[in-house]
Amino acid sequence: MTVSAGIQSISKKTCCMRTVTRHFKEIIIKHTFAFFAFFSVFLLSLIVFFLFREGIPLFKQISVFKFIFGSAWYPTYDPPEYGIWPLIVGSVVVAVFSCVIAVPLGILSAIYIAELAPASFREILKSVIELLAGLPSVVLGFFGMVIIAPWLQETFDLPTGLNIVNASVMLAIMAVPTISSISEDALYAVPREFKEASYALGATKFETIVKVIIPASLSGISAAVILGMARAIGETMVVLMVAGGAAAIPDSIFDPVRPMTASIAAEMGEAPFRSGHYHALFATGMVLFFITLVFNLIADYISNKFKEVGSGTL
């Protein structure tokens, strides 16, 4: 009895020590994750604070309305003019046209890979799309300058091939992998029971994809589209190289434009420190920040709305 009681006592102590050790490890892991989460938020707060600190002084020289809706961007003139409306229009037009190209290609390719392609061919397509995602933006910009621009200039008899169409095509190539990969993950996440129930009711493959799989994955697909648009509107190098660099409101899709990101990248190195031009570029970054924030809020709303609709329908 004494030996048995001693063994039980040692066993209880061992179990208690293991429980304490496991609990201690969980506390360390929890606080480590919390530290990195709060540190990320802190860094983002510092970036936003710095952006606003350097941008707000511009509005001592010019009103917010005149800055946003002004039609002339001549920061080196005397007196300078800081109207970024042509830059905003250029950013939005290029992003919209790129998404018109990228969204159908990305979603349809995701549907084909997830539901229709043979297993062997599926792996090849996924590898090709992932390879496109890894292409540096400067390589795509160089391709647009050397290949697409001369072709557009000769085919449509244009004064320059660096224009909205060129920039939109290059941005669409960059956005397609993002849209396709995230949409594919959303399609794979649809429970198999939904598909089997659809087939059991006599639905065809096409009807199952259109009426069951896509509605059930609309939340993920909408997130993919918004991320693709965010990639397009926030890209710098491609639009700097192939958009044309004209700070003017375009009359057609073959006109050159200068998006906000391209203007910041092209002029920040030339702007004297803490000058009006310097503050104007940071104020442009503030506008871009708010546009991106609005896109994210809309994406979150649409994602939740589609999630509710999908769950209610199914």
Q: Mind listing the pLDDT tens digit for each residue in 145-193?
A: 999 999 999 998 888 889 999 999 999 988 888 888 888 888 888 888 8
pLDDT at 5 over 70: no
| Secondary structure string (H, E, C) spanning the chain | CHHHHHHHHHHHHHHHHHHHHHHHHHHHHHHHHHHHHHHHHHHHHHHHHHHHHHHHHHHHCCCHHHHHHCCCEECCCCCCEECCHHHHHHHHHHHHHHHHHHHHHHHHHHHHHHHHCCHHHHHHHHHHHHHHHCCCHHHHHHHHHHHHHHHHHHHCCCCCCCCHHHHHHHHHHHHHHHHHHHHHHHHHCCCHHHHHHHHHCCCCHHHHHHHHHHHHCHHHHHHHHHHHHHHHHHCCHHHHHHCECCCCCCCCCCCCECCHHHHHHHHCCCCCCCCHHHHHHHHHHHHHHHHHHHHHHHHHHHHHHHHHHHHHHC
With cut-offs at 50, 70 and 90, classify the pLDDT of residue 66. Answer: very high
Q: Which two three-digit tokens encode residue 166?
A: 């060129």
Please, what is the average pLDDT of the chain?
84
- With 0-12 / 13-18 / 19 or more C-beta atoms within 10 angstroms meaning exposed / middle / buried, residue 153 is middle
Q: pLDDT, tens digit, for every residue of 94-119?
A: 988 998 999 999 999 988 888 888 87
Contact (CB, 8 A) for 142 and 241: yes
Q: How far apart are CA 264 and CA 261, in angstroms?
A: 5
Q: pLDDT, tens digit, for every residue of 117-139?
A: 887 788 888 888 888 878 888 88
Q: pLDDT, tens digit, for every residue of 261-287?
A: 988 988 888 888 888 899 999 999 999
Nearest to 239 by CA among 132, 135, 92, 102: 92
Q: Kindly state the average pLDDT of the residues 246-261.
A: 89
pLDDT the model gives residue 4: 57
Q: What percent of the chain has pLDDT over 70?
A: 90
pLDDT the model gives residue 11: 60
Residue written as tokens 């290609």?
105
Q: What is the CA radius of gyration of the chain?
A: 27
Q: How far apart are CA 280 and CA 165, in angstroms?
A: 28
Contact (CB, 8 A) for 67 and 87: no
What are the domain boundaries of the chain?
2-60, 65-313
Q: Kindly state the average pLDDT of the residues 210-218.
A: 85
The pTM of the full predicted model, rounded to 2 decimals, is: 0.81
pLDDT at 309 over 50: no
Q: How far apart are CA 279 and CA 56, in angstroms?
A: 7
Q: How far apart are CA 137 and CA 56, in angstroms?
A: 31
pLDDT at 311 over 80: no
Given this structure, which CATH class describes domain 65-313? mainly alpha
Cis peptide bond prior to 79, omega within 30° of 0: yes
Q: How far apart are CA 110 and CA 103, in angstroms?
A: 11
In the chain, the N- to C-terminal Cα span, in Å, equals: 63
pLDDT the model gives residue 314: 47
- With 0-12 / 13-18 / 19 or more C-beta atoms within 10 angstroms meaning exposed / middle / buried, residue 175 is buried
